[in-house]
Amino acid sequence: MQPDKRTKNIFDGFNTFFEGSPTHLAIAPGRVNLIGEHTDYNDGFVLPVALDRDVRVLFRPRSDGRIRLYALEFDSWADFEVGSRERNRNDLWPNYVQGVGLELAELGLRLQGFEGVVSGNVPRGSGLSSSAALEIASAKAFLTAADQIHALTGPQLARAAQKAENEFVGVNCGIMDQFISTLGEEGHALLIDCRTLDYRRVPIPDGVSLVIGNTKASRSLAGSAYNERRAQCEDGVARLQTALPSIAALRDVSSEELQAHSSLLSETVYRRCRHVVSENERVVAAVDALEGGDFLRVGQLMNASHASLRDDYEVSSEALDRMVDAMRSHSACLGARLTGAGFGGCAVALVQTGSQTEVRESIQDKYAKTMNIWPEVYISPPSSGARVLPLSNM
Ligand code: GLA
């Protein structure tokens, strides 16, 4: 295999800091979510796609229990003993790796140390799940170093990484990002049932492409507002249960039921619930439309998703609304919406294949004119999930 520039940089990094040769390269992608936002922690449905941007860990096992990793882009080190619960206070990224190790150990796996270099090209802090990619690439490295790569199923691995982020890093995310980073498939989105963790592949036909617009606007409010939305959903479920005792999550509530019992909820909580309930219905409809080749309908559902996130869930922002406008103003765009948690970060558009370069330029021009910020636009084919390459043949 002829190494590309990125691979070469990682190898150079390894040779600078470590003796001997690496044995494996673990790769885990970022993601973009086509539709199904803020539904994962409500036991609902999501339809994400793995990106062609990823986090890579080039490593070799150690005979002791130490983890020593150098992050190329951060120019900083993770250095800890497997099982240590002492958090790194200077840099955040080592905590993702450490938390994943703790969760895997919690599942009864006997882990071993490893050392190497981490490098990523998923834009950070942009809502494309660079953290989940780091977690899953690290999880693959832990499992490989311990000779236990088949010890967990994909969904189990994703769950362990989500728990690491919830409990050790302290971010209360759902399971979507870790799941798609682990199990994504080339040419496909995954329809994931976030309650059962059943999933199925949904082909993204060649005729349509995904265009991602990075607003480059900060997401500073994201953490607290995300937790507040989760709490509002839980409040909604608790109140609805007085009339609908069999429901366990908003996933179990239909639009008709929600409307019939709206008097149980405050106006704000009603709107939060209305987003989640209607978004679940939109995911199911979008899968039908994609599979039936009705891309116009998929685009309409994406537009409706954005409106619901903006008006009912209130997680959009000026920058995201302007990005979505810039995307929709091109005639090849079938629909566009914010993607990920919101409050900044990225929007995704479904675009007729063939005009991507022109679409990119048009989005950049229009967005820059209204926001005075030069955005990044990525065009990514639906890519495959995490994998580990043994390096004996490189
Ligand atoms: C973030 C979280 C996900 C999901 C989305 C919103 O990306 O990590 O679990 O909740 O927000 O859909």
Whether the full predicted model's pTM is greater than 0.85, yes or no, is yes
pLDDT of 2: 62
Q: Give the pLDDT band (50/70/90) at residue 83.
A: very high
pLDDT digits (tens, 9 = 90+) for 331-342: 999 999 999 999
CA of 230 to the centre of ligand 1 (A): 11
**Which CATH class for the 208-379 domain?**
alpha beta
Q: Is 132 in the pocket of ligand 1 (CB under 6 A)?
A: no
Q: Which two tokens stand for residue 246?
A: 């069999």
Query: How far apart are the CA of 26 and the centre of ligand 1, in A?
Result: 24
Tokens encoding 329: 């103003």
| CA 172 to ligand 1 centroid distance, Å | 9
Query: Mean of the pLDDT values across residues 81-94?
Result: 93
Question: How many angstroms separate the CA atoms of 309 and 55, rounded?
Answer: 29
C-alpha 342 – ligand 1 centre gap (Å): 9
Q: From the CB of 135, is ligand 1 less than 6 Å away?
A: no
Q: What is the pLDDT of residue 3?
A: 74
Percent of the chain with pLDDT over 90: 94
Q: Which CATH class is domain 5-203+382-393?
A: alpha beta
pLDDT of res. 31 = 98
The DSSP bridge partners found for residue 209 are: 351
**Ligand 1 mean position, distance from CA 197 (Å):** 15
The mean pLDDT value for 248-274 works out to 98
Measured CA to CA, the distance from residue 199 to residue 45 in angstroms comes to 9
The mean per-residue pLDDT over the stretch 274-291 comes to 98
Indicate whether residue 279 lines ligand 1 (CB < 6 A): no
Q: Do the domains 208-379 and 5-203+382-393 match in fold?
A: no
CA dihedral 327, 330, 334, 335 (to 10 degrees): 20
* Ligand 1 neighbour 315 (Cβ under 6 A): no
Residue 219: predicted pLDDT: 73
Ligand 1: residue whose CA is nearest its atom 8:
173
CA–CA separation, 283 and 37 (whole Å):
9
Residue closest via CA to ligand 1's atom 1 equals: 341
Q: Are 107 and 95 in contact (CB under 8 A)?
A: no
Query: pLDDT value at position 218?
Result: 76
Residue 59 confidence (pLDDT) above 90: yes
pLDDT score of 90: 87
Quick one: tokens of 358? 């022109």
pLDDT digits (tens, 9 = 90+) for 159-207: 999 999 999 999 999 999 999 999 999 999 999 999 999 999 999 999 9
Choose the residue to mutate in 176, 224, 226 for probing ligand 1, maximizing ligand atoms within 8 Å of C-beta: 176
Domain ranges within the chain, ordered by starting residue:
5-203+382-393, 208-379
Burial environment of residue 133 by CB neighbours within 10 A (0 to 12, 13 to 18, 19 or more):
buried
> In DSSP terms, which residues pair with 95 in a beta bridge?
none
Mutate to test the pocket of ligand 1, among 31, 35, 38, 320 (most ligand atoms within 8 A of CB): 38
- Cβ of 14 closer than 6 Å to ligand 1, yes or no, is no
Residue to mutate (ligand 1; options 40, 130, 250, 280; most atoms within 8 A of CB):
40
Q: Which atom of ligand 1 is nearest to the CA of 33?
A: 12
Q: What's the rounded mean pLDDT across residues 272-299?
A: 98
Give the active site residues. 177
Average pLDDT over residues 210-222: 86
Query: Residue 1: what pLDDT?
Result: 52
Q: Which atom of ligand 1 is nearest to the CA of 41?
A: 10
